């Protein structure tokens, strides 16, 4: 790596030129309006952060079946597409680049959010944890297992959402295969106890995630599609017998599809905890996956620069720092103090803690 390769250097990602290597990570903010439509505040929020090398939006459900939390946006209805089009148009006017994250929560939901239906999953297993539905915090029920003949409809949902994302004017899409949601549930052995072609062996457990990836790539082309994984996230009763084997195999298979980037959540400290060196998969997956590699997990200015300079990643994604600092690239460039995030406002409505974090006053 050249000595001047750091967070502020340009990066060519497929046919996109990014002005810096600072990615805005996808973050659920629970600010969508009625019918899960982005609202004017959503436009303001993303425009404020348009200086990112690339923005990856909050997860947006690919169908009504994929909803897991109140006031999260969708990308399956015409009204949602129109709402997102206002966001992408405004970000592009500011010179930004924006991908949407395609999301199906699977079993991490509640009948109150699904018209009375049970959440769906690879297997009907109990799930620890809660979700927020009408009336407040509610325990996640035992989901129902998808029938084999239903699984292709999940692929269809992602394909249609990818097409809708094109209509909405996005620059690309990220498939949400992380954080205990549906594709993650199919991939990991602790949540997938199926005996059909979508369970059991590694080949079978990766079948649905790969079918979804290939369908989305058919819509967008590989350069404009990414996939996010989180091998260390064991919330919601998630586990895997051999994460190294599972995620190494999966990365090899993703690499074969021509996927544009792989986005790994691997905590190095701070809010997200810590993945000890002996458990870290980043160096291994970096060698397996041949295109753009993104790391996320507690990075700051110095650790991000170090990871880029050492070739550990091509891009670094920042979550909470970008939430609280709309001008994060400029603050990093000036080595300026960062705003403190207000955690009490992360998942509530309104502008407070959303669009009211101050930017630097830049003197020229």
Active site residues: 181
DSSP reduced 3-state for 11: strand
Rounded CA gap, 349 and 345, in Å? 8
Give me the DSSP letters along 195-258.
-STTSSSHHHHTHHHHHHHHHHHHHH-GGGEEEEE-TT---TT---S-HHHHHHHHHHHHHHHT
Centre a 10 Å sphere on the Cβ of residue 33 and count the other Cβ atoms it contains. 17
DSSP reduced 3-state for 337: coil
DSSP assignment letter at 60: E
Residue 265 contacts residue 297 (beta carbons within 8 Å): yes
- Nearest of 261, 340, 269, 263 to residue 303 by alpha carbon: 269
Q: Which residues does 111 contact at the CB level (< 8 Å), separation at least 6? A: 117, 118, 119, 141
Task: Return the structure tokens found at 95.
Answer: 């010179």
Rounded CA gap, 203 and 200, in Å? 8
DSSP assignment letter at 149: G
Question: Do β-strands 136-139 and 130-133 pair in parallel, antiparallel, or remain unpaired?
Answer: antiparallel
DSSP reduced 3-state for 131: strand
As a whole number of Å, the end-to-end CA separation of the chain is 32
Rounded CA gap, 315 and 20, in Å? 9
């Amino acid at each position: 790596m050249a000595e001047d390769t750091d967070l502020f250097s340009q990066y060519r990602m497929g046919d996109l030129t990014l002005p810096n290597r600072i990615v805005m990570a996808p973050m659920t903010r629970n600010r969508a309006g009625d019918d899960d439509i982005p609202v004017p505040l959503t436009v303001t929020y993303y425009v404020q952060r348009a200086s990112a090398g690339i923005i990856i939006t909050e997860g947006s459900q690919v169908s009504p079946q994929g909803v897991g939390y109140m006031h999260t946006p969708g990308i399956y209805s015409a009204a949602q597409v129109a709402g997102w089009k206002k966001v992408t148009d405004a970000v592009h006017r500011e010179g930004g680049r924006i991908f949407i994250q395609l999301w199906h929560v699977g079993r991490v939901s509640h009948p109150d959010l699904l018209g009375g239906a049970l959440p769906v999953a690879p297997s009907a297993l109990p799930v620890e944890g809660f979700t927020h539905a009408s009336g407040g915090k509610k325990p996640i029920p035992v989901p129902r297992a998808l029938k084999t003949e239903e699984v292709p409809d999940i692929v269809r949902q992602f394909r249609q959402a990818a097409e809708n994302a094109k209509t909405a004017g996005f620059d690309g899409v990220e498939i949400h295969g992380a954080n205990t949601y549906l594709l993650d549930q199919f991939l990991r052995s602790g949540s997938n106890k199926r005996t059909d072609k979508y369970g059991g062996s590694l080949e079978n457990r990766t079948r649905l995630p790969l079918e979804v990836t290939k369908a989305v790539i058919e819509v967008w082309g590989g350069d404009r599609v990414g996939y996010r994984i989180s091998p260390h996230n064991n919330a919601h009763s998630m586990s895997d017998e051999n994460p190294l084997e599972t995620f190494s195999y999966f990365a090899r298979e993703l690499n074969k599809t021509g996927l544009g980037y792989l986005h790994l959540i691997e905590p190095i400290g701070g809010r997200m905890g810590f993945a000890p060196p002996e458990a870290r998969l980043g160096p291994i997956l970096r060698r397996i996956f041949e295109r753009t590699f993104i790391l996320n997990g507690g990075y700051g200015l110095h650790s991000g620069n170090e990871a880029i300079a050492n070739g550990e990643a091509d891009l670094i994604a920042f979550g909470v720092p970008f939430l609280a600092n709309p001008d994060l690239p400029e603050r990093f460039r000036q080595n300026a103090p960062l705003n403190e995030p207000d955690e009490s406002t992360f998942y509530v409505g309104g502008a407070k803690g959303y669009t009211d974090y101050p930017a630097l006053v830049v003197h020229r």
